[in-house]
């Protein structure tokens, strides 16, 4: 089996597993506790959380406010998520797209698809409003941070690795390109530039493509 096909299958399996894990991302302590989740109530809680993020911002979203808006009890929310951070994480990433690994045969086009995907995800209003503060909270908790990485970071990183590996095999990039650094640079730039409104989206995507086109060869992880 060609290398690219094998990696692509692995990426898809990991992404699927990560999304399944995300449905119980309130933490291991929530598994098996209480009654099975009611899907309609579950969806209502997530929608209420997204609405409150847009109205109030992450720091002012409380479990009490989510309970009141969604019609669910505080006990239910605490049983399913444990506290605010895992709830907000699921709310803003519940509809995270199942993006295929781009395979156009051209590194520049594949890179453009990866950048477009990340910009599209991170500039959605509720994500842009909540993620910076949420990330800071996760940084202070190793368990939450590891869970976030496993659910989203690792599958995304593997997709970038595959695109860069194929480009090296085709001779479009020299050996030693750094997809991990490219992904982190893109994520940081998107967060910074969208929060500060330094650069509009229509300029941000081609700018990032030009910065990353050489594969960041020689940049250490």
Q: What is the pLDDT of residue 3?
A: 33
Q: How many CB atoms lie within 10 A of CB 56?
A: 13
90-137 residue pLDDT tens: 999 887 766 789 999 999 999 999 998 888 888 889 998 998 889 888
Query: What tokens appear for 208 in the block?
Result: 């990032």
Residue 35: helix, strand or coil by DSSP? coil
Q: Which stretches within the chain are classed as H helix?
A: 3-22, 39-56, 63-70, 74-81, 84-93, 107-122, 125-139, 142-148, 154-170, 179-196, 201-212
Quote the CA–CA distance of 116 and 220 in Å, as a whole number.
24
What are the structural domains of the chain?
A: 3-12+97-212 (1.10.357.10), 25-93 (1.10.357.10)
pLDDT at residue 29 in the model: 38
Which is nearest to 11 in space by CA: 146, 156, 110?
A: 156
* Whole-model pTM over 0.85: no
In the numeric block, the tokens 């698809």 are attached to 113
**pLDDT recorded at residue 98:** 67
Please list the ranges in the chain whose pLDDT falls under 50: 1-34
- Please report the pLDDT score of residue 208 as a whole number: 85
How many C-beta atoms surround the C-beta of residue 24 within 10 A?
16
How many Å apart are CA 53 and CA 178, to the nearest integer?
A: 35
């Amino acid at each position: 089996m060609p290398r690219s096909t094998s990696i692509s299958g692995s990426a898809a399996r990991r992404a699927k597993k990560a999304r399944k894990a995300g449905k119980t991302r309130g933490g291991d302590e929530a598994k098996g506790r209480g009654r099975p989740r009611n899907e309609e109530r579950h969806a209502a809680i997530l929608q209420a959380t997204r609405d409150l993020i847009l109205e109030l911002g992450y720091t002012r979203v409380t479990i009490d406010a989510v309970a009141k808006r969604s019609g669910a009890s505080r006990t239910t929310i605490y049983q399913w998520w444990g506290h605010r951070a895992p709830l907000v994480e699921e709310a803003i990433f519940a509809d995270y797209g199942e993006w295929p690994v781009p395979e156009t045969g051209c590194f520049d086009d594949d890179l453009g698809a990866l950048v477009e995907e990340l910009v599209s995800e991170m500039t959605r209003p509720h994500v842009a409003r909540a993620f910076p503060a949420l990330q800071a909270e996760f940084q202070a908790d190793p368990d939450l941070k590891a869970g976030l990485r496993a659910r989203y970071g690792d599958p995304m990183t593997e997709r970038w690795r595959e695109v860069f590996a194929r480009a090296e095999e085709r001779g479009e990039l020299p050996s030693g390109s750094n997809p991990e650094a490219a992904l982190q640079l893109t994520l940081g730039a998107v967060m910074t530039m969208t929060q500060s409104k330094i650069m509009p989206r229509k300029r941000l995507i081609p700018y990032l493509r030009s910065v990353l086109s050489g594969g960041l060869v020689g940049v250490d992880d």
